[in-house]
Each structure stands twice: as C-alpha cells, then as structure tokens.
Structure 1
C-alpha cells in the first residue's frame, strides 16, 4: 500500500494530491491517527483451527465479504475520469458497501445503476428541503443506508488547500447539485472548496436534526464523526442503527483524539445497542484487525482507495480492496481467528498497558 501511495503522489498534480492527502491545521491529528494505530499491539490466540478462515460479515444488515466499506470521499473524478463509477464497481465486485458522498462527482442515480450495496452519505445543508430531497433520491435509487456526517459544521482549515488556492476544475462538479459553484472559483489564499461548503452546509445541525432525519427515513441510519462516549450514548437514544468513530481522517478539528484511541471508550458506552464502525488512518489488513479487536464491527477505507483509483481506475481500486482483504485474512489466521466474529478475542493492547479485559496481576501478601 505504501508503494501505491508513493506512485499516486508522483502521478497526481500537486494541488490535487494535497487535497487528497492533506489534513487540517498543523496536521497533528492526521499524523496521530497512524501513530496510534502503530502503537496498538495484538495478543494472538494459538492452537485454534483456522483452516477455514473467512472475512465474511454483515454491515448495516447487509452481507459483506470483508468488514470494510468505501468511505464517502468527495469529487473522485479529480484523480481519475471515471471517479466514483470506477470505485463503486470495484466495491461491488469486492462485495463491500460503497458510500456515495453528497459531494460525489457522479450522481446518486448513476451510482445506483452500477449495482452492489450502496449507502448514501448526507451533509446537512442550509436548505432543509434540499437535504430531505437528497434523502428521497437515495431511497428511490435503492440505497440501503444513510450516513449522516456530523463533524462538519464547516470545513476544517486545510492549509495545503489555502496555500494552493485550490478550486475544482470545470469538468469536476458536485453531481448531486449539478451546477458550477463557488468551489470552482479560485481565490488567492483561499480554498474555493471550503468557501463552497461554508455557503452550502448548515452549522446548526443538532440532535434535533438527527431526530428529524430518523423520523423521515426507515433506512438504517449511521452517524459519522462520533468520538465522545457521551455522544455515542446519545446516538443510541436517538434511535440510530450505527455510529462511525471518526475524526474525518484528520481533516476537521486538528488535535482531536485518534479514532483508534477513542474506540475502546465508545464501544462499551453503546453496549451493543448499535453497530460501531471506525475510520481514519486504516492502511493495512492488520489495521482492520486492530479495530475489530477493540470492538469495531468494520472500518471505512478512504485515502488508499483514492491511491488505487489514481493509478488504475477500477483495476487500481480493485487492487486496493483485494490487498486489504488478503492482509486481513492473513492477520486473522495468524492471530488464531477463523472469522471476523472471533477478532475481539485478540485483545488490543499498548506498550505498558495490559490487553483490554485482562485480569490484574496477582500480588503476594
């Protein structure tokens, strides 16, 4: 995967690479996500029969051939002309969900025509009627879940985009909106994409918004961007079906806790009442196992999918998903797990700390 990242960095224009790779502020959380995942250590269980080791699972009530989904990523035609169409086809063929972004450069209806398991990611817009119209379109297109992103009252200050005065080329648009927007108007020392989102997104999205959405749709509903156990418990009370523990890949609040570090407190807070997914920093199959061991039911794959897309369209995206699935199966088997369901028995630990759930050491009187 690191080889693919280097190849994509060399192949893409600098401003587009920075848009994909960058984080907010000093990029402390961007770096912390990887550091935290690297610190997690696994305690393998031995002498178990893993001759039939499978990565099959269920996510939001639908079967998946691996515990992962494609994260909602905006404007994928920036890195390849086929954009989300290629990524959705790769997800379909890999048997994992594809989450279409509100800011997708391909419309919901076109992505639904690809087939496969399609979820729709929703940003709460200033125009609530437009927001609900997107929900209606997702339902009519056959989406099997709605993922409301709750950590973007406005876009985090992404300094790479500011320095590049980043704006969208005219041939890449938010297809669910249709028209050219302020995201295409480059301005000195500003990110045009950030200007557009500040104009389009509501900064007044609240738990009342979640209640309204829950009442509006019968589709499974996930909240993406949860880090605090208190918010996780409130999500349970709001009747959602899943939460995504996420710091937006280090692209929103710089200094936020790494997602993998938030996971061990969030999982017991919901006590099995909702499904818990995780994203931010996942790069390998072993990373996926670490998230599973700490209580997640699956992960979302973000930047690696974009690297594969940049280097080979659908074939490149397929390569990423195949590699992750192979690495996960290898990690599961070596850890003594014959299935995704067995992964929590491989307790995640950090140096100097006992594994989660471990008994305290005996003391001599």
Structure 2
C-alpha cells in the first residue's frame, strides 16, 4: 500500500504548530522561482532551458492541461495502492528520479545528495551517465532505498560502452536506460547565449574520468598532437582552474598536467554516437545481463521495433523538451506507445511532470511508472538531499490524495476527460 498523503499533510501541519515550515515550496511554480534565485545563471539556464524557442517544453505542460481528472464519489477508497513491479522488484511507488547530468552545477554533492534523497523517499534514481560522481560512489547511497538504474549514452567507443555496462552490473544497478535522443546535442539558446557547456569545464564527466577505458583514451589524446592554445584571458584561466578542480587527483598536480584538459577534449569527441542505429541496439542483449530500457521512444513503430530488438522496456520521453523544438509532447505520445507495446513490457514516461496529479494522469493513460526531473533538481538546489527527499515525498503525497479524492483505489481506476484549450489557461470541454 502507498503511504497516505494525509501522513505527509499531518507532518507539515503539526510542524507548523511549532513554527516549522517545509524546507522547499510544495508547489512547482514557487519551487522554481526560489531555485532560480538560489542557482547561478549558468546552472538555472542549463536545468530550466529547452531546445530552440522551448515550444516542446510548453507542449509537455499543455498536454497535461488538456487531460482532466473526473472525480467519482462514495467509492470507499480508504486505502490506495500505487505499488508496481519493475523487472522483478516490487516498488511501493510508481515513481523514479530521471537522469539529469551536470548536477555538480547545482549542488556541490550533486548526485550523492540525489541518491540520499531518493533513498529517504523510497524511490529509485536513474544515475546519469553525465554525473558529477562515479556510479560506484552514488550506488551505495541509493541502495539504502529502492535502488538505482544506470543511464547510458552510447559512446563512439564500443570499449567504453562495454566498460560502463560492466561497471553498472558490478556496482549493483537494477537496469540500464539507453538514451536514444541525444546522438547530438540539441540547440539550446539559454546555454548558447552564455557560451556555457558544463562538460567543457570538466563538470558532469565523472563517470568518464573514473573509467579505465576512458583514462586510456584521454592519455592517448594528451600524447597526441597538441592543439594551439588560445590566447590566455582571465576567463580562459578560470576555465582551466575549474577543469583542474573537477578532475580526479590533487588540484596542484592537475594544474600542471595536460590530462584534465585532454579528458575534456576526449569526452567532447566520444560521448555520443550520431550513427547509432537499430543494429547497435540489437547487440545490447549480448553485452549486459541487466534489464534494458530505451529512453526517447515517441512513435509506436519504434516501440515495436525496440521489443523486437530484445529490450525489456521503453521510456516515452522528449528529453524534457531539450532536444527537438516543436516535438510531440511525451504525454500525447504515450497512448500510442502503450497500445503498440500491448502489455509485453513496462512503459515509462518523463517530460513535463511537475506534480502528483501529473503522475496520476500519466499512470491512468497506461504508463507503468513515471520519472520526475526538474522539480527534484530545484529541491537539490535549495536544500540538498533533504530538498530532493521533500520534493519527491510531496509528489507522492499528492498522487495518493488525488486518487483518494477522485474515488480511485489504483491509478487504473482513475477516470479522465479530454479538454481542448481555446486560449492559455481556459479549458473548454470537447
């Protein structure tokens, strides 16, 4: 059984009697506003930004706005059940924390704090391939809760892909999530206008700098022909210092060594494979024993082909609107993918999820589980692990209360009605 949302409410209201308030705002708009002031310009632009004019970011939210809950009365739903089974593990909640890279921009403990917050809230986290700490350090903290999965960006080096997969197995990951929609980086004006890519400054590449295959590739880069160094400027010096600070080893040694800069150059060269195809995906089953989830599936035919390739699940996602401007919203794509999969594998969803009510609607449309992204990153910015835990628990509490008030014992019992929007914020029944 899911923990009652009333438990979370009582905790907050009883704390209020003693003058205690939640560590972070409990509704997303206030949460984002507070986090924006707490984060650097670069950090906020990276987390909040989307591709192009950010039409897809808005479409993700609009899709939830077009789908309304129809509460039913007097159904005696004193207890709700939101538990779900994923790859042999029974989870109390149908929620995971989505992989977000470069969280060392947001908080100094980055993914370590996320793992601790996820564990406290009792949900799995998907450890980013672009994390600020190695998976071997993140995993033990996540395992104290519901465990963790590993996200894979398919590198141009097959040896590096195999090394990541082997490390994830050894470190105790519960599944591998292969991101398909970032074979090249999307056009992101917020970052471009600041001239800022965190990975070019040594952030978010700890999975790489901790990897023996990548270390070999970086040494080869360092030993190869040297690029002409740009004219030293104060900004260039600050970047070198930042790269050296985030590279493994002693800071003073890193300042004198070519390896930190070679690691960044190597990462930018190998991190993603533009030529990735279905033939590559078909090799995964022989590369790992872990359950395989493909992330970025938006078309029913791609979902069918994924199952034909032997994967174990699909994640309906447009990368939070960060890759293709004008893309179909993830929630709009969900029903077609669910129909194509036809119960043969779990179907997860991310992109645009901001609340427990959003989670409830996605589950009612057929998602097996839902991944939460930007909200927990803002909680991290404001209060570290405690902020991640609170944001996650608040979403779960609202999910439970939404079901209770709608007369649904499980998400499958929830009744939905489609709405068309004639102007922003004004829903009209179809």
Question: Which residue of the partner structure matches residue 332 of structure 1?
Answer: 403
Is the counterpart of residue 351 in structure 1 residue 382 in structure 2?
Answer: no
For residues 238-274 of structure 1, give each alpha carbon's deviation from its aligned partner in whole angstroms, at most 9, with x where no partner exists: 1211100000000011111000000111111110011
In structure 1, what is the Cα distance between the partners aligned to 2:273 and 2:338? Answer: 29
Kindly tell me the number of residue pairs found equivalent between the two proteins. 344
1:102-181 superposed matches below 5 A: 102-114=129-141, 115=143, 116=145, 117-168=147-198, 172-178=203-209
Distance 1:165 1:99, change over 3 A: same
> Which residue pairs with 2:374 in the alignment?
303
Compute the displacement of 1:320 (Å).
Answer: 0.3
- The one of 5, 12, 28 equivalent to 2:55 is 28
Establish whether residue 200 from structure 1 lines up as the match of residue 271 from structure 2: yes
State which drifts further: 202-211 or 134-143. Answer: 202-211
Mean alpha-carbon deviation: is it higher for 253-262 or for 194-203? Answer: 194-203
Q: 3-state SS of the aligned residue for 2:151?
A: strand
Match of 2:296 in 1: 225
Give the Cα separation in 1 of the matches to 2:301 and 2:367. 17
Query: Which residue in the other structure is 1:363 paired with?
Result: none
- The worse-fitting range, judged by mean Cα deviation, of 169-178 and 199-208 is 169-178
Distance 1:97 1:279 in 2: 14
Unaligned runs of 5+ in 1: 354-365
In structure 2, what is the Cα distance between the partners aligned to 1:198 and 1:348? 47
Distance 1:154 1:172 in 2: 18
Q: 1:153 to 1:255 in 2, by over 3 A?
A: same
Secondary structure of the corresponding residue to residue 313 of structure 1: helix
SS of the residue aligned with 2:123?
Answer: coil
Give the aligned partner of residue 56 of structure 1: 83
Q: Could you report, residue by residue, the CA deviation over 1:268-302 in whole angstroms, capped at 9, with x for unpaired residues?
A: 11100110000001001000001011100111111
Corresponding residue for residue 359 of structure 1: none
- The separation in 1 between residues aligned to 2:181 and 2:102, in whole angstroms, is 19
Residue pair 2:70, 2:415 contacting (<8 A) in 1 also: yes
The answer as to whether partners of 1:150 and 1:223 remain within 8 angstroms in 2 is: yes
* Equivalent of residue 12 in structure 1, options 39, 42, 48: 39
Q: Contact 1:100 / 1:108 at 8 angstroms: preserved in 2?
A: yes
SS in 2 for 1:47: coil
- For 1:35-74, list aligned pairs within 5 A: 35-74=62-101
Counterpart of 1:101 (choices 125, 128, 138) is: 128
Larger radius of gyration: 2
Task: Return the offset for 1:203.
Answer: 0.7
Q: Distance in 1 between matches of 2:126 and 2:393?
A: 18
Instruction: Name the CA shift for 1:73/1:173 in 2 (closer, same or farther; >3 Å).
Output: closer
Determine if contact 1:267/1:276 at 8 Å carries over to the other structure.
yes
Q: Secondary structure at the match of 1:201?
A: coil
C-alpha contact (below 8 Å) 1:154/1:198 kept by paired residues? no
1:113 is paired with a residue whose SS is helix
Deviation at 1:93, TM superposition (A): 1.7
Contact 2:101/2:204 (8 A) holds in 1: no
Residue 196 of structure 1, CA deviation: 5.4
| Whole-angstrom CA distance in 2 between matches of 1:40 and 1:196 | 41
Measured in 2, the distance between the counterparts of 1:214 and 1:46 equals 48
- TM-score normalised by L of structure 1: 0.89
- 1:63 is paired with a residue whose SS is strand
Residues 100-156 of structure 1: per-residue CA shift (max 9 Å, x gap): 111111101001221231100001000011011100000000111000011111010
SS in 2 for 1:74: coil
Give me the CA root mean square deviation: 2.4
Partner-residue secondary structure (3-state), 2:207: coil
Given that residues 103 and 204 in structure 2 are in contact (C-alpha distance below 8 angstroms), is that contact kept between their aligned partners in structure 1?
no
3-state secondary structure, aligned to 1:332: helix
Distance of 2:40 and 2:59 partners within structure 1: 26
What per-residue deviation string (whole Å, max 9, x for no partner) do you get for residues 12-44 of structure 1?
A: 111210011000111110111111111111233
